[in-house]
Structure 1
Amino acid sequence: MYLRDGFPGQRLHVLPRPLAKQALQRSPTSRLLVTDAGYFPHAARHGRVRRTGAAEAIFILCEAGAGWCEMGEVRHDVHAGEVLMIPPRQPHRYYADDSDPWSIWWLHVTGADLPDLLAAIGLDLARPTAPAADPVQAADLIESICNDLARDETSSSLTAAAGAAWHLLAQLAAERHRRSVGDASINRIQAHLREHLAESFSVPGLAADAGFSTSHFSARFHAVTGFSVTEYVKRLRMARARELLLTTDRSIADIAAEVGYPDQFYFSRQFRAVAGSSPRHFRRRVTDETPADGPLSR
């Protein structure tokens, strides 16, 4: 039996359909509107079937684990660090992997500018998935959308969410351009850092692996990701730590060690710098939240 939602620590925000209809009739949300957004951590047995598709384009960012989506009788596997785009009105079904269920950030987007943005991103029915050059930044943007939608349902909050969504989609379009001009070496280093999250590293060593001088590598890495190597790794580690805080009852010391910080107190300082709260307070605040009810069309 598969589940649509109801995962411990999840976030789920859905606009009432009459409100969404009103927002699409006024500027600037007529140009771009986020109607649904959320986060499903370690979503075991997660699955959805939409025989007539959704009215909006659906973007799913796989933060960890894996899953798959079937459209037009073609199955597409989705791995950690990848984005899946499902076009509007496209029948589909998707599921978390049985042995390594995904953790996903997701959103539904519509509006007059959506077709042009989808064309710029370059994902379509034939090729609906692509690696996110910076999955940490993409997750941060969707999290900010969730925060905007959780604040209230005023025009200002919907506009703020639309702005973050525009940033996200523009970033995906820019990543398509970077892939076309060739950043395979940087993407390979990013994949290595994600796969060896807790291991120590040196920037000169990574630069040598990529075939660049240290200074050129650092500049190129920042141009692709928007972060220094050290900051990028820190955010990767903190994303994994947030997932473990939400989906396990492991101690903070254990989680710190899992993500590469043998010193629990240093880990806590780094976590606060990224998340804005201590690990203990983050776990308590998020797990105490009551998930919202979702609509039938989500």
Structure 2
Amino acid sequence: MEPPVHQPENEVLKPKGAQRITAESMPHHLPGTPQVYALLPQMQDVMVQLFSHHSTVEPILVPAVVEPLLVLVLAGTARVEERSLGGEWKAVNVQAGDFFLTNTSEPYEMRWQTMGCDTFEVMHLYLGLPLIDRAVRDLLGEHTDPVTFLEISGAQDERVNFMLDQLRFELTEERTPSLLFVHSLAQALTVHLLRRYLDPQSTTRRSNALQAYKLRRVIDAMNERLADDFRLAHLAHIADLSEYHFSRMFKRATGLSPSQYFIRLRMSRARHLLLETNRSIIDVGLEVGYSSPGHFSQVFRREVGVTPSAYRQA
């Protein structure tokens, strides 16, 4: 990643392209190269990234991410500053054990200064929408609308700290990480976040979002036809809405347009096939709807960050 360009203090960084991205794309927007642990194939709704950060004086534009993001400070201390685009800087001093919870639908800016050390280490955990949806149905009922979390910066929570540390240990220290164990931790963590950090205004803000039961029907239909062409009319019919209203309500519920979400599901399936089978890259591309290997590779690289062959080798 290229170093950040100097930005005068009184200017506002402008987001490039879509305002919300998927977790896989986040490393392209932050300095450094993280260790990435994508847990496949049984679970495609958790991603862990480990970063070691030096001081970053110039503001970095952080795109909003579809998945809620938890950041745990693993080591070191730093002064972290955040602001909405055009807003005032808000600063917090953080140390090992502090965490951030981000669920914003808008890009924002960050910068940080290490204190008494050269680097500080953090862990990113992204919780997928299907995982959250299951926890919401368990706690709040089958027909609960999609929810959002409160924004937390530099707080302490023993349960969050414990479960994130257990996830990190399982992935980095165990010779054969258990997906069952990691999935159980992720589910427990999601339930805890819903109980303690649910934004009480989220239902009001998303009153025009696609209802949870319709969203599940649509996503199930997408998964059943990943090899077929994307058909907006078919999905809108499942939701019993016009194409226009369906597209607006789907994006309000998920942060992505129906076609973008469909591509995301295709790439999740492709990652599973690349890692868990010996099928050729051409066959994998065909199963997720790409008859042209070049087109499949182009889309995969755009969404995941590397080519299919590089992903399999890694």
TM-score past 0.5 threshold: no
TM-score when normalising by structure 1: 0.44
If the length of structure 2 is used for normalisation, what is the TM-score?
Answer: 0.42
- Greater relative contact order structure (CA < 8 Å, 6+ sep): 1
